[in-house]
Structure 1
Amino acid sequence: MALGIRVFEFLPKEGTPYPFVVMGDTHLLPQATKTHLYGRCTTTLHLWADPNNRKQVSDMIGNIMAEASRIKQIERTQWSMIISESDSQILKDNSTSESLYHGLLHLYFRFL
């Protein structure tokens, strides 16, 4: 996605400036026919911002959801986001020495 948001596979080193996104878990529920594989997929994204920027997390969630909803094909597989099942939360997080906003974004897709 070309949103200008830094994305990491794992939590970055302490001191990494906010905001950033960390890829969370992905869960596949495949079903097979004789000739095709289809099913559902969910992935979780964790968004982090400093405590003075709740709106930034909210805007990042909205922008990522809008961009993800445009995904129609990856390689030879057709994808469609299930917008009605995708959801988000914004939590106050005090697991570090500074308070943060932690956004959770759960994206659900169908693939054919």
Structure 2
Amino acid sequence: MLASQELYTAMLLKLRSLWPDSVFDGDLPPEGTPYPFVHLGDTQDIAEFMVKGAAFGRISITVNIWMNNPRRRGDLSLMALKTKALARSINETDNFGWCLSGCEESVIPDNTTQDPLMHGVLIFEYKYWRKKQ
């Protein structure tokens, strides 16, 4: 399996363990979905290289959090904090070892709906290596 897919699956399962009914992947949730909700976004496999027969690389993965009450920014921040702790807990999957090497976090206003939204964006960067088979 591709490293990006293993990381995506691991992140999705962990997010759903925190918020079982509020985590979406692929398309955004349908209109009328209650806030807050989490959307597992894109991945980017930055590099894979071989060193003495071992594969290493870097992958970034994006997690989006939407909140529809600007007065509850603290709730969005708490969800982001829990998501970061969850991201740190991903150390290995079936075929790869993982090391979280950074997280870029933004909270931005979102006016794509009639209601004002806050959009938290977490971009995690992992280093990975293929475990020996």
The answer, yes or no, to whether TM exceeds 0.5 is: yes
Structure with the bigger percentage of helix: 2
Which of 69, 78, 97 is the equivalent residue of 2:114? 97
- 1:68-98 Cα distance to aligned partner (Å, 9 max, x none): 101110113110101xx31101111111010
Shift of 1:34: 5.4
Write the distance in 2 (CA, Å) between the matches of 1:76 and 1:88.
Answer: 28
- What 5-or-longer segments of structure 2 have no aligned partner? 1-13
- How many residue pairs were aligned? 110
Matched, 1:87 2:94: no
Q: CA RMSD in A?
A: 1.4
**Matched residues, percent identical?**
32
2:123 aligned partner = 106
Write the distance in 1 (CA, Å) between the matches of 2:108 and 2:91.
Answer: 30
Instruction: Select between 92-101 and 49-58 the one with higher mean Cα deviation.
Output: 49-58
- 1:7-66 Cα distance to aligned partner (Å, 9 max, x none): 111211111001111121100121134532211000111110112321111111110101
Matched AA of 2:76: V
TM-score of the superposed pair, with normalisation by structure 1? 0.90
2:18 aligned partner = 3
Matched, 1:47 2:65: yes
- What 5-or-longer segments of structure 1 have no aligned partner? none
1:32-71 pair list within 5 angstroms = 32-33=50-51, 35-51=53-69, 52-71=71-90
